[in-house]
Structure 1
Amino acid sequence: MAEKILIIDDDARNIFALKATLQARKYDCIAAGSAQQGLAFLNNEKDIGVVLIDMMMPDMDGYEAIPKIKERYKVPVIAVTAQAMVGDREKCLEAGADGYVSKPIDVALLVAYLDQYLK
């Protein structure tokens, strides 16, 4: 079975657009509307191959969630964020992200990351 992509984002429009883009390229995606829900998916779904996470979410943001994901699940995490100022990429990578894609999403860059991390 192909590995799934877990999208964690609190904005349903972002989830819809990202899922549509990735599914059109034959990727299998599931989505969580919060970091807490994303952690629950990681607990219950054993075939998640990569996580795409928004960095700015209420309750638990990506900066808090990434270290938890990396520690517990050993899955690659790509920050997908509107945080695109000087230093934001480095801040995401310092939090433990394996990759960084700013919004609006560079689909070619995202697909390159996915091809690198998915079996």
Structure 2
Amino acid sequence: MTVHKHYMAKILIAEDNRVEAALIENMLEDFGCEVFKARGLDIVDKLDTPYDLIFLDINMPGISGFYIANNLKKSSSSPTCAPIILVSSEPYTEEIKEQCVESDVDGYVQKPMTQALLATILDEYIPEKETSLLATGKEESKLFLRKRHT
């Protein structure tokens, strides 16, 4: 019997690179997540939904991921207080670390994202959304169990 973790979570991906966005989206969908996407300034129109987790590219056209994160964290009118993970192809430097602290983000990931890395992020930031999918080897025979937290 194998166990596959799934998450009943709404996740926003704000990524300007369509290939990278599709890669992250596919991996998140494999984990059972409902995925919403935005590019650049389009993210403003997506912020009225309460998300469980947000992935923000640092350098999007017309807007900075740091700027968005900073405003989301400080806004009392925002319906989302979801953890924010910044994503970039840039290595984690001291300058980026300082900007992450100033913007009060929850994490930083260097691209490309892997399934194992994504699993670690989901386990860390939205464990209460986890469900387990137990498979007995037959595709049609599955059992869904909701993880209970005390």
Task: Report the Cα distance in structure 1 between the residues aligned to 2:44 and 2:123, rounded to whole angstroms.
Answer: 23
Task: Specify which of 40, 51, 54 is matched with residue 54 of structure 2.
Answer: 51
1:100 maps to 108
CA contact (8 A) 1:80 1:100 kept: yes
More helix by share: 1
Give percent identity, aligned residues only.
24
Give the secondary-structure state (helix, strand or coil) at the position aligned to 2:82: coil
Paired residues of 1:23 and 1:29 also in contact (CA < 8 A): yes
- Number of aligned residue pairs: 116
1:69 aligns with 2:72: yes
Contact 1:39 1:69 in 2 (8 A): no
Aligned to 1:25: 31
Could you state the TM-score of these two structures normalised by the residue count of structure 1? 0.83
Decide which structure has the larger Cα Rg and report it.
2
Segments of 5+ residues of structure 2 without an aligned counterpart are 1-7, 129-150
Residues 1-49 of structure 1 deviation map (CA, whole Å, 9 limit, x = unaligned): x330100011211111110111122222111012x32232121x23x10
Q: Unpaired runs of 5+ in structure 1?
A: none
2:45 to 33, 40, 43: 40
Relative to the length of structure 2, the TM-score reads 0.68
Which structure shows the bigger proportion of residues in strand conformation? 2
Residue 109, structure 1, aligned to residue 112, structure 2: no
Larger relative contact order (Cα-Cα within 8 Å, sequence gap ≥ 6):
2
